[in-house]
Amino acid sequence: MVASMAAAEIPVWSDDVLDLFASIPVQESGRIKPLDTVARFYLLRLNGKRSLRVENDGKSQSRSSLEWFLDCLFYPEVTDTYRCFSVDSYEAVTAAGIEAHGKKRDRYSYHELQPGLDRLMSLAQKAAELPPETQTFVDTQIITLAGNVLAYESLTHFLDFAKIRYETENNAILTSVFNDRETVRTSDILEKIPKHMETLIEQSHQLSDEERQPLSQGINQLFSLLDHAVLNAGLFAFLAPDEREENVWLSPADIMEQSFESTASMDGYIEGLRIFEAMTDSLTSPSAFYDTLRNLHRVLISRATARNEYKHINLEIHYYRANYLFFSQWLFLTSFLLIAITWLRKKSDGWSLLMNFSLLPPIALLAISITLRCIIRERPPVTTLYETILFSTLIAALLGFALELVSRNRISMSLGALFGLLGLFFAWRYEAREGTDTMPAVIAVLDTNFWLAIHVTTIIIGYGAGLFTAALGHVSVFLRILRLKQHRPSFFNDLGRITYGVFSFCLVFTLIGTVLGGIWAAQSWGRFWGWDPKENGALLIVLWALAILHARRGGYLRHDGIALSAIVLGMIVVFAWWGVNALGVGLHSYGFTSGIWGVLLAFWAVETAIILAGAVTMWFYRDKKRLSAP
């Protein structure tokens, strides 16, 4: 079936219909993407997940993001009962006078929220006027919930332009043009009224003020009706422009406005709106709906293909449906558990080597995912904060695999698997928290593939190496604190040499990346160095690494000192990576993440405590060793 339902029942969409809708191209936030991607992130924003559980005949069933999206467009009276609004604190609901569920964190339907929407919007407006630093957790929840409700309302009313029928008898303009019809559609008005109004305006100059008044009232009334239809019709741009030099696609709202303002022919665009109208009319006939959808699909794709802007749509659909990152994360977990088993048995080079190669499948899936993102966007691997997580995770996992081949100490591969697991978990949480497309259009300051490839990518390699260095330092410190392997000084010597090597690797890539960034800045802004916070963060990494490596070469630090210094390096990397963005100042002020300061401060506090505990333990160990010496 295409789409069938009885009153108040859950719509049923056939696989053929879902596939056609999924591959419709849309321009949103400056990027051309499949409608499937739009649906995924729209639901993720509201629900915190890309799927939804709904009640149907007393049974719970799952709705995909695209099914939910189509339900919203064509059957909003049904989706009003779906519990798709995720609320982290019931206080945000009760503050608006809405009856809360029993749990602190739960999901609510639009129908449940509706009685308190006016109060909710008022509270959200007041909370938004407060400085961010004074907003409470409940304030942010109220603002978020209000924004999600508005987003939902915009989605459910997007097709109003295609559903509305205008009565001609109550409007002088419509009556004069469509005197043989009782109702007309939006496309009918756009096709005939703009040309007719030119004639009316010319004729109005010959009329008296009294004769002109009904004409003016009819025009004002008509535009008032169209304003209602156009209110939410600008949400998505489906129609690629005819002009090759024009990069902005047209939404139904754009077409409605330009029909009255532009001198160019709008017939092709109006025909597209007419197909949307036919689709809403054919909901009760599955076969007619499917035929109309196929026609719409053909028209939209042909316009995009003519501009060579459809070539990556199917690949992006595959990327999200294949879910490479999900499977990579679980394979990293499997690899970590297998590696953990090796710690329970006597060391065997053959078994350890086999377990190390268990890292390759999840690394391969992660690399494939990053590669597909590069192809889809036609960009280097790192352009957003989200992509820095993926790429640094890949670097850390590769370092763990490569170092294990050299050291055979089972630590490197353990850290590689752990980094892969935690990195992808963090990426998943970041994506869910932000609720926005992770492949957005590149901001103007970064819009150069050459410098993105050689500067940003190099810096992120340095970040990944710096974090892996810090992880090695943690291993050494925890072993000292727990008094493990104290009878094997060679173990700590080997671990110290590995840490020193990765320290050097981090320095090389961070230094090169920083210098390349300066060259980019000189070309873009006319200066090599401007003491920008992001530049200073990268410089701190370089200076710290240089100082520690010189201290090691000079004999001032040995393996224990290198381990503690490596943890400090990790703290600096996190500041340069995330802390600088949270400052909100400087040329590199992009990629903000709300609420990050609390997490960062907690991280630095824990790391400081580990360093102090490690330093005290190492001092006592060294003092005891000196006293016990003959």
Provide the pLDDT confidence category of residue 300 given band limits of 50, 70 and 90.
very high
Quote the pLDDT of residue 19. Answer: 97
Quote the pLDDT of residue 595. Answer: 66
Give ∠ CA 585-588-594 in degrees, rounded to 5.
65
- Token pair of 525 as six digits: 């802004």
Question: For residues 565 and 583, which has the higher predicted lDDT (pLDDT)?
Answer: 565
Check: CB of residue 423 under 8 Å from CB of residue 17.
Answer: no
Provide the pLDDT confidence category of residue 4 given band limits of 50, 70 and 90.
very low
d(CA 403, CA 399): 6
Q: Which amino acid is at 11?
A: P
**Pairing mode, strands 166-167 and 12-13:** unpaired
Quote the pLDDT of residue 437. Answer: 93
Closest CA to 393 of 261, 401, 62: 401
d(CA 578, CA 315): 31
3-state SS assignment for residue 453? helix
Q: Which residue has the tokens 């600088």?
A: 580
Classify residue 273 as exposed, middle or buried by CB count within 10 Å of its CB (0-12, 13-18, 19+): buried
Question: What b/e string do you get for 571-593 counting C-beta neighbours within 10 Å, with b at 16 or more?
Answer: bbbbbbbbbbbbeeebebbebee
Quote the pLDDT of residue 428. Answer: 95
pLDDT tens figures, 464-496: 999 999 999 999 999 989 888 777 778 888 898
Question: For residues 2 and 330, which has the higher predicted lDDT (pLDDT)?
Answer: 330
CB under 8 Å to 70, separation ≥6 — which residues?
A: 3, 11, 13, 17, 18, 21
Provide the pLDDT confidence category of residue 173 given band limits of 50, 70 and 90.
confident
Mean predicted confidence (pLDDT) in 313-337: 97
Domain ranges of the chain: 36-162, 163-306, 323-440, 443-630
- Please give the distance of CA 507 from its chain centroid, rounded to a whole number: 30
Quote the pLDDT of residue 629. Answer: 45
Residue 135: C-alpha distances to residues 52, 126, 380, 556, 580 (Å):
30, 10, 38, 48, 21
Quote the pLDDT of residue 229. Answer: 83
Quote the pLDDT of residue 585. Answer: 62
Quote the pLDDT of residue 362. Answer: 98
- Token pair of 481 as six digits: 């604190």
d(CA 239, CA 36): 17
Q: 159-173, 277-291, 312-326: lowest mean pLDDT where?
A: 159-173
d(CA 579, CA 574): 7
Rounded mean pLDDT of the chain? 89
Residue 95: C-alpha distances to residues 104, 137, 141, 146, 149 (Å):
13, 13, 11, 12, 16
Provide the pLDDT confidence category of residue 625 given band limits of 50, 70 and 90.
low
Quote the pLDDT of residue 211. Answer: 67
Quote the pLDDT of residue 528. Answer: 78
Provide the pLDDT confidence category of residue 193 given band limits of 50, 70 and 90.
confident
What are the residues facing 106 on neighbouring strands?
Answer: 87
Rounding to the nearest 10 degrees, give the CA dihedral for residues 277, 283, 289, 292: 0
pLDDT tens figures, 433-470: 888 999 998 776 666 778 778 888 999 999 999 999 99
- Token pair of 518 as six digits: 């300066």
The whole-model pTM stands at 0.89
DSSP state of 572: H
Q: Which amino acid is at 261?
A: E
- Token pair of 283 as six digits: 């909901």
Provide the pLDDT confidence category of residue 534 given band limits of 50, 70 and 90.
confident
Closest CA to 566 of 524, 610, 532, 533: 610
d(CA 433, CA 49): 10
Mean predicted confidence (pLDDT) in 91-111: 92
Mean predicted confidence (pLDDT) in 202-209: 66
d(CA 5, CA 585): 53
Closest CA to 464 of 499, 419, 417: 419
Mean predicted confidence (pLDDT) in 134-163: 95
Provide the pLDDT confidence category of residue 555 given band limits of 50, 70 and 90.
confident
Quote the pLDDT of residue 5. Answer: 47
Provide the pLDDT confidence category of residue 586 given band limits of 50, 70 and 90.
low
